[in-house]
Amino acid sequence: MYKIQKTQPDLLSNFDIEDICGMIGVPLHGVYSKDELTDIEPLIGCYVVNLEDSTEGGSHWVAVVINESYVSYFDSFAVRPSDDVKEFISRYVKNQDIQTGLSWSCNDYGIPWNIRVRFTCVSDSAMSLSPI
């Protein structure tokens, strides 16, 4: 169990998140407010994003994981990504179909993708997937 000293009970700062990710080996590219994403080039790795602008006090943290073959978004409230986060992700994702509309081979892609996600996430409890 990792212990982080916090300035307020149950609130994590960007510094806390960076420290925790460093201790457990998460390939973190950074912790940002949603408005700061416009200046960031999306690369393979992990990002933690606060859903308020940098000029505000901060509200809720979400995670984005970019891999060679997929992008995962996690929100503990199961809310879809904000427009800022979608725009950030869209700069990495190339909209490319790998299956035709008349094909029945979706499980040929879906099952291996799920297996890969299962074994590449930091831990089962730390990562969940939400449709973008």
| AA identity, residue 132 | I
Q: What is the mean pLDDT of residues 67-79?
A: 86
Q: How confident is the model at residue 57 (pLDDT cuts 50, 70, 90)?
A: confident
> The dihedral of CA 80, 81, 87, 93: what is its sign?
negative
The DSSP code for 79 is P
Secondary structure letter of residue 99 according to DSSP: S
CB contact at 8 A, 81 and 55: no
* Token code pair at residue 31: 């912790």
**What does the pLDDT read at residue 132?**
43
Distance CA 10, CA 88 (A): 28
Task: Give pLDDT, residue 111.
Answer: 56
Instruction: Write down the pLDDT at residue 50.
Output: 95
Residue that the structure tokens 């099952």 belong to? 111
What pLDDT, on the 0 to 100 scale, is given for residue 100? 52
Give residue 125's pLDDT band: very low, low, confident or very high (50, 70, 90). very low
pLDDT of res. 1: 46
The set of residues, in sequence order, having a beta carbon less than 8 Å from that of 57 and lying 6+ positions away, is none
Q: Which segment, 25-29, 94-98, 104-108, is predicted with the most confidence on average?
A: 25-29
Please give the average per-residue pLDDT across 13-40, as a whole number. 92
**3-class DSSP state of 89:** helix
Q: Rounded CA gap, 10 and 19, in Å?
A: 16
Give me the mean pLDDT over the 92-105 stretch. 55
Higher-confidence residue: 19 or 129? Answer: 19
